[in-house]
Amino acid sequence: MQLDRLPPHDIIAEQSVIGSILLDGNSITKISGFLLPQYFYREAHRHCYETCLELFSRNESIDQITVSQALKAKDLLESLGGQELLNDCVDITPTSVSIVSYARIVEKAAIQRNLISAGRKIIELGYEEYLETDSALSTAEDTLFNIRKDTSQRDFFHMRDQFQEILEKDDPIDDQLDHKTLPIPTGFTNLNEIFMGGFQRSDMIVLAARPSIGKSMLGINCAINAAKENMIVGIFSLEMGREQIAQRMIAAESRVNMEEIRKGVTSSANQTRVIDAVGLLSDLNIYTDDTPFQTVVEMRGKARRLQLERGLDFLIIDYMQLIDSGGGRRDGNRAQEVSEISRQIKGLARDLNIPVLAISQLSRAIEHRQSHRPLLSDLRESGSIEQDADVVMFIHREEKYITEEDWNKTHPEGQPYPRQLAEIIIAKHRNGRVDSVEMTVQEQFGLFREIMSKSNQLLKSNV
């Protein structure tokens, strides 16, 4: 085995990727989701691609002039080969239409190099005389897993495909209307009233709560409700896989216990309800990307491509603190990283002219106060989240912090225990009033249901 020969690479393919982007700046959206800067073998090409990604993340034009100026600003242009480097990339590129093919060639060569590097590390482990066997095997497995993790990039897919896997059902979808200016209805009358018809275009909406309060549940409810109004919905799920999302959607729509759906529906009546729910959900335009590790730049490319190819009216990110900052920037200061992520999400909403619902964690400080109602200061690693967001919503459920026995001791006047009750608190609303909405929570179905504040009567939910 010749380990000292030249590693796999394709300079022409690398030049063609850069050339394609310089010829057509929008073509970067086709590859930004899977092609990483470190995949480039030649350092000059890597710096060029990184610069293109930076311009893309700032929503600036990408062409020979802007890339040249950006490289010059970083004092890199001359050391990388000057303007001639960019000219060569453009001259050698036959067409930008084939950028994905060029990028896949670059990606394949990078994976081959990573395999060679991993092989060398594993060989060195084999010579480590004093290394425990289990530790050696674990390190070897991790080395290979990291290659798989870096290359297992996924993209948006229609949720119908996941429903088909569960029930082996294939229903055609109808072409949906494209509402480019309308607000996105939430499916909840009081919320729609507060938000003047629904979530507004270009708004960043932060939905925050402590774990297990129902953030993802409410986000999925809003996704289904919007899709029922002929809106095209995209979901970036960094925490849950596509199967879990599908199960939650089916439970919410069918009103069949989520646990029963996971284990297998046995009742014929419930089976019929599940099949009917899957039929309805399959006709909705909901796309999900469950890639666990990705940056806002990668999301931006995927979301823009989805909007161009299929349409996109509403985007949900679940959840913010799991977004990769991209290379451990700002000396590992996570609060600053999250602040940068927040600004990029706001830019994404404005760029695509859609509301982006960003789900976020709250800090533990809320659990140590006498009052457990969330405050804006409870936003975990808040940084500029509060500043960037157009709307900040909290989910408050008192039953999660106090038992019924303790409740009765502190409320001798007989006030009923708030079982299955939730308060949606609009703590910030840049273009409207702050308020709160009462809802009931049916966790077994993954469902929020609205309570009219005046009549205190349950509305028939659209979920």
Q: What is the pLDDT of residues 75-131, one digit of tens each?
A: 999 999 889 999 999 999 999 999 999 999 999 999 999 888 888 888 888 888 777
CB 323 within 8 A of CB 238: yes
Please tell me the chain's helix, strand, coil percentages from 3-state DSSP, rounded to the nearest 5.
Answer: 50, 15, 35
pLDDT in tens, 418-438: 888 999 999 999 988 999 999
Question: Tens digit of pLDDT for each residue in 147-169?
Answer: 765 665 666 777 777 777 666 54
Q: Given this model, what pLDDT does residue 331 score?
A: 53
Domain ranges of the chain: 11-151, 157-450
Question: What per-residue confidence (pLDDT) applies to 121?
Answer: 86
Give the chain's largest Cα–Cα span.
83
What pLDDT does residue 359 have? 94
Cα 179 versus chain centre, distance: 22
Residue 319's CB: how many other CB atoms inside 10 A?
22
The stretches of 215-309 forming alpha helices (DSSP H) are 215-228, 242-254, 258-263, 268-282, 296-309
Q: Which residue has the tokens 């990705």?
A: 294
CATH dotted code for 157-450: 3.40.50.300
Distances (CA, A) of 122 to 105, 118, 135: 26, 6, 12
Q: Are the C-beta atoms of 287 and 233 separated by less than 8 Å?
A: yes
Task: Pick the closest to residue 157 from 239, 253, 235, 251 (CA basis).
Answer: 235
Angstrom distance (rounded) from CA 69 to CA 275: 57
Spatial strand order of the sheet with 435-442 comes to: 157-158, 286-289, 233-237, 314-318, 356-361, 204-209, 391-396, 421-429, 435-442, 447-450
Residue 64 — very low, low, confident or very high, per pLDDT cuts 50/70/90? Answer: very high
Q: What dihedral angle (degrees, nearest 10) is formed by the CA atoms of 174, 178, 184, 186?
A: -10
Across 276-285, 341-350, 405-414, 448-457, the highest mean pLDDT is recorded for: 276-285
Six-digit token pair at 309?
A: 């190819």
**Which CATH architecture is the domain 11-151 placed in?**
Orthogonal Bundle (1.10)
Same fold flag, 11-151 and 157-450: no
**One-letter identity of residue 335:** A
Decide if pLDDT at 145 tops 70.
Answer: no
